[in-house]
Each structure stands twice: as C-alpha cells, then as structure tokens.
C-alpha cells in the first residue's frame, strides 16, 4: 500500500468521527436553545398605572442589588428574637414573603417552592438557606412553627430545619423589609385578608437582591442557576458554569434565557477541540507507518 494511503476501515473511522462531531454540535445547540425557550416564559407584575382599581398598591417593583436591611428584628419559629443579619454571610438565600393564614396564594407559593426544592440536588441548610417571613404583624411564632413543621415534613431532607427559617415580626420590621424588597400589598378590612402579588427572591450571602421569580410554580433549573450566580459561583458544578455562560437572567420574566451568540461560541469551541484531538491522533498514526523497504 502506498505511503499515506488509507484503508477502508480508516476512512470509515474518519467519517464516523466527523459525523459524531456534527451530531454533538447539533445536539448542543438544539438542546440549549430548547432549554432557553422553556425558561423564558414568565409573568411580570403590571405597572401601577394599569392595575385594576383597588390593586394600585399591590404588585412587585424590582429592587435588584438592593440591600435587605440586616438590622431588622423578627422572631423565629421558637419565639427567639433574631436579626436578619444572623442569617447573612454564609450562603445564598431564597426570601419568601407570605402570611401563614393566607387562604389561597401563600400556600400555593410555598407548595410551588417546596416542589422545586425537592427536585434540586442542592440541599437547604448546606448550599443555600430559605427565609420564609410573614408580612402579617398579627401572626405568631406558634403559627410559624406549625407551618415550618408542615413543609419540612414534605421536603424530607436531613438538616433542613437548620436552613429553612419561618419568621414573624412587628409592623415596623415588616414595612422596612417589604419596602426594600419591592413587595407591595394591601390589607382588606372587609375580609380581614391581604391582597398581594406572588414572587420569591434570591439573595446573595450578604443579603442583596439578586433575582426575582414570579408566580406560584418555579423551575428548579432556574432556581439552581440563580443560587449559583448569587453565590458568586461558589456552589455548583462545571456544567452549571457552562449553563451560566450560555444563559442570562431576564428581569422582565424572572427567568433565564438562552444567549444564541454564546451557544454558538461554545459549539465552535467544542468543534475545534474535537478536531484538534482528531488531527493529532491521525498525524501520530501516519508518522508511525513504515515506508516499503
């Protein structure tokens, strides 16, 4: 066989290799693009000037990068006075504003949050914490303890009681917290209930608002990426870092969307790396051949 000629087996191997590269790039692009499309469907609270009468003061006004006041005093589920600063400085957090006797939305939000947390591989109390705080000053630590027991029983992760905190507090602390969070609600005298919007917030370990997620159901992948970003990439895997490179948080939807240019860059980089490995292998194979004597 002349030097440099290739056998049918080698040609088949090359074709298989090239086809595999193409398939990998195609799968990468289509998978990430589809993932991004699923994650960009969301709802944003309407501006106050287009809200229905009676709900002008109800909604979510984003306060991204706003510092949640660390000095605010609440009571934990055991009735012990705590400052929000007691929970800062360790891990990223999810802030969940509810009231425990809410007949509708708050229970749905808590259920949606717990469902997302149960899917995530991250553990409450290990990679992140959750602060569930009542915005009704009439509620008591006993109510908070009952609600905590209910959701810890559903969550069923070890040591979650050390990371998921249910708080109550006075009107002054609640007012300062909800103002900083952009959480707008209104008490309805006729019903004795509150009109309010639904959202959860992701906070940095230092207590700054990183992201908002709207509605009563939350995508576990969105929350995972949000917590990783809020942590300054101190939690998560290499794959998570790749996803964060390819996706950006959209404040208008409260979710992550794909960045096409970054997906293409990543696909191109993968192709170059694989081709480089392939060419290196082929050159070494060729150099090991012996010329006919």
Based on the number of CB atoms within 10 Å of its own CB, is 85 exposed (0-12), middle (13-18) or buried (19 or more)? middle
- Please tell me the distance from the alpha carbon of residue 47 to that of residue 51, in angstroms, as a whole number: 7
Sequence spans of domains, the chain: 48-258
- Say whether pTM exceeds 0.75: no
Q: Identify the weakest region by mean pLDDT among 21-35, 92-106, 119-133.
A: 21-35
3 band by pLDDT with thresholds 50, 70 and 90: very low
CATH 3.60.20.10 fits 48-258, yes or no: no
What is the arithmetic mean of pLDDT over 2-21? 52
The pLDDT, as a whole number, for residue 57 is 80
The pLDDT, as a whole number, for residue 114 is 98
Could you tell me which of 58, 66, 143 has the C-alpha nearest to residue 107?
143
What is the arithmetic mean of pLDDT over 106-126? 96
What is the arithmetic mean of pLDDT over 201-206? 97
Model confidence at 162: pLDDT above 60:
yes
The pLDDT, as a whole number, for residue 282 is 61
Q: E strands within 25-156?
A: 59-60, 73-75, 81-83, 93-98, 129-134
């Amino acid at each position: 066989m002349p030097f440099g000629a290739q056998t049918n087996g080698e040609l088949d191997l090359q074709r298989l290799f090239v086809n595999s590269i193409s398939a990998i790039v195609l799968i990468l692009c289509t998978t990430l693009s589809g993932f991004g499309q699923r994650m960009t469907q969301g709802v944003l609270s309407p501006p106050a000037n287009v809200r229905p009468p009676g709900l002008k003061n109800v909604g979510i006004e984003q306060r991204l990068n706003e510092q949640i006041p660390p000095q605010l005093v609440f009571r934990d589920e055991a009735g012990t006075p705590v400052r929000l600063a007691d929970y800062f400085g360790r891990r990223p957090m999810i802030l969940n504003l509810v009231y425990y006797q809410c007949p509708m939305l708050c229970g749905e939000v808590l259920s949606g949050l717990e469902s997302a947390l149960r899917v995530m591989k991250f553990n409450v109390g290990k990679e992140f914490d959750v602060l569930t705080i009542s915005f009704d000053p009439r509620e008591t630590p006993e109510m908070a303890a009952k609600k905590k027991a209910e959701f810890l029983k559903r969550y069923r992760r070890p040591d979650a009681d050390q990371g998921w905190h249910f708080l109550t507090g006075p009107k002054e602390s609640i007012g300062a917290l909800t103002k900083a969070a952009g959480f707008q609600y209104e008490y309805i005298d006729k019903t004795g209930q509150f009109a309010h919007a639904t959202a959860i917030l992701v906070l940095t370990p230092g207590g700054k608002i990183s992201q908002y997620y709207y509605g009563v159901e939350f995508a576990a992948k969105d929350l995972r990426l949000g917590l990783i970003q809020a942590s300054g990439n101190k939690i998560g895997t290499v794959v998570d870092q790749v996803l964060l490179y390819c996706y950006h948080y959209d404040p208008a939807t409260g979710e992550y969307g794909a960045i096409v240019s970054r997906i293409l860059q990543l696909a191109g980089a993968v192709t170059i790396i694989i081709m480089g490995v392939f060419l290196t292998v082929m050159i070494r194979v060729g150099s090991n051949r012996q010329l006919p004597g």
